[in-house]
């Protein structure tokens, strides 16, 4: 099935804008925390919790949200997500206190993101069966995701400094309203066959599992990974005293148990002939499993490196929010350039090769950051490393998504899209958590916390490079895998 250039643009523009604004919302709040705390008469810790809740809500509901695309319809689910997100942005912009901010930003925008993001990738996959065209539009959407994450601190800092933090939410309101108008013109194939019944128990287990896994990972910045840096209390009761085993493992353990129960529930439901929330056959594709692994590490590397760089610039060099955002511009440019060339690259090279090259460029860029950037080095010292990282990220984001989504037929697109987005969100959460915990642990006299964090992230990127090398070559792809040629 193909579409004309005009109809393709009519569909891709709202999808890319929606992905951009969702990624923007995940990063722009960080540079406005101080202003929001003063305006709402609350604490920085309270706002950090609000940001954490947004990530938790989005990650927890991504799989259930993707299943609703088959029940409600892809376009309808996308539009419902946009409307919920829009209401949340309006409430956040008008919030007189932290309570309404949590409802608007953390809950409604998180739920809206979980409903509108899976259909973005499902619609691209279902509408373009030609892998070259699919790579082009995955490049546009994935580039929008990376660009939104990179531009969040710069645009958010600029708007907050010139106008106010409320104007940043109003910008989201305007963009989402535009997307809703554009989305009405989307014409794309819908799910064929009987609408599955919603698996409520599976949705609850998946949400609880993802919630506690992500929550536990995020708590590593406060309590550390091995020994607890402070008392872990529930109410007024000290559950784990300072110096005991980190509560991270307790919280993550609850999530893992819930996810194990989720898998058991799926197996029982499939055995009984009922439609599960997620088909277990999704985990039988070697290419898709490796692709999901590279996706998680890509987002871990992106968010972790942006976090470390931002903290370094603000804490060591005393840069403002705007200056910090400007310093990340080379990475943004790199993402734009490589994403724009996705179609041209896909015509000449396999998706596997692009993922390998993307990780290679990213590792070299991170190595240049370690070699060239010092406390008192010039502004230009960070440009080569950030530019190469951006080029690498833009290339491999598109290719990994293409590998994963193209590994399954149309009937499985809702399931794999939700799983893919959940894995990416998990990688993002792990990136900031790992980087933050290393910064805290290494911040001792004579320590080099920023270098230590970047070394750990570089090592993780090397693991991603190894996974990319294990991806099946084009000649290894079997027709029985449901995979399409690169």
Q: For the segment 409-424, what is each residue's pLDDT rounded down to a tens digit?
A: 767 766 777 777 778 7
Q: Does domain 5-198+277-481 have CATH number 1.10.10.10?
A: no
Domain definitions of the chain by residue range: 5-198+277-481, 199-276
Measured CA to CA in angstroms, residue 86 lies from 9, 105, 145, 374 at distances of: 23, 10, 18, 42
**Least-confidence region, from 144-153, 192-201, 280-289, 474-483:** 474-483
Q: For the segment 246-261, what is each residue's pLDDT rounded down to a tens digit?
A: 888 888 999 999 999 9
Q: For the segment 130-179, what is each residue's pLDDT rounded down to a tens digit?
A: 666 666 777 777 778 777 777 777 787 788 777 888 888 898 999 999 99
Residue 7: pLDDT band (50, 70, 90) is low
**Least-confidence region, from 15-24, 56-65, 170-179, 443-452:** 443-452
φ and ψ at residue 234, rounded to 5 degrees: -125, 110
Residue 73 has pLDDT above 50, yes or no: yes
φ and ψ at residue 245, rounded to 5 degrees: -60, 140
Residue 50 has pLDDT above 70, yes or no: yes
Give the C-alpha separation, 347 to 458, whole Å: 30
Q: Residue 434's pLDDT is what?
A: 76
DSSP H helices, 184-285, are: 200-223, 247-271
Reference 313, options 162, 321, 333; nearest CA is: 321
Spatial contact of 266 and 259, defined as CB atoms under 8 Å apart = no
């Amino acid at each position: 099935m193909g579409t004309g250039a005009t109809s393709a643009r009519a569909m891709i523009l709202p999808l890319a804008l929606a992905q951009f604004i969702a990624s923007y919302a995940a990063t722009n709040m960080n540079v406005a925390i101080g202003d929001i705390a003063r305006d709402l008469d609350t604490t920085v810790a309270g706002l950090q919790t609000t940001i954490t809740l947004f990530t938790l809500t989005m990650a927890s509901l991504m799989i259930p949200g993707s299943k609703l695309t088959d029940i409600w319809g892809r376009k309808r689910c996308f539009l419902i997500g946009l409307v919920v997100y829009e209401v949340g942005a309006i409430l956040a912009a008008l919030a007189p206190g932290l309570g309404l901010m949590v409802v608007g930003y953390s809950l409604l925008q998180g739920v809206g993101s979980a409903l509108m993001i899976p259909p973005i990738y499902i619609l691209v996959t279902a509408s373009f069966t030609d892998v070259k065209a699919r790579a082009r539009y995955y490049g546009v959407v994935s580039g929008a995701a990376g660009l939104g994450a990179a531009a969040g601190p710069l645009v958010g800092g600029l708007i907050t400094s010139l106008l106010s933090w409320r104007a940043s939410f109003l910008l989201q309101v305007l963009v989402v309203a535009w997307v809703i108008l554009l989305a009405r013109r989307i014409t794309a194939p819908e799910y064929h066959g009987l609408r599955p019944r919603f698996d409520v128990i599976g949705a609850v287990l998946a949400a609880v599992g993802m919630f506690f896994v992500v929550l536990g990972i995020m708590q590593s910045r406060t309590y550390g990974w091995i020994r607890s840096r402070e008392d872990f209390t529930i109410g007024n009761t000290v559950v784990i005293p300072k110096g005991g085993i980190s509560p991270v493992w307790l919280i993550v353990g609850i999530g893992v148990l819930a996810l194990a129960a989720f898998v058991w529930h799926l197996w029982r439901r499939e055995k009984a002939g009922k439609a599960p929330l997620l088909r277990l056959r999704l985990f039988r594709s070697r290419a898709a499993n490796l692709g999901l692994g590279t996706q998680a590490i890509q987002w871990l590397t992106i968010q972790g490196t942006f976090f470390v760089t931002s903290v370094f610039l603000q804490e060591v060099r005393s840069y403002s929010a705007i200056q910090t955002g400007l310093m990340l511009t080379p990475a943004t440019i790199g993402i734009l350039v490589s994403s724009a060339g996705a179609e041209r690259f896909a015509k000449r090279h396999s998706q596997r090769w692009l993922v390998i090259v993307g990780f290679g460029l990213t590792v070299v860029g991170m190595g240049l950051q370690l070699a060239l950037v010092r406390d008192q080095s010039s502004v230009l010292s960070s440009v080569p490393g950030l530019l190469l990282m951006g080029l690498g990220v833009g290339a491999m984001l598109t290719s990994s998504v293409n590998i994963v989504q193209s590994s399954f037929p149309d009937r499985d697109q809702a399931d794999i899209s939700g799983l893919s987005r959940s894995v990416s969100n998990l990688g993002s959460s792990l990136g900031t958590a790992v980087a933050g915990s290393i910064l805290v642990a290494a911040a001792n006299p004579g320590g080099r916390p920023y270098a230590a964090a970047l070394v750990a992230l570089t090592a993780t990127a090397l693991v991603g490079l190894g996974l990319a090398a294990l991806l099946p070559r084009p000649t290894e792809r079997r027709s029985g895998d449901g995979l399409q040629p690169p």
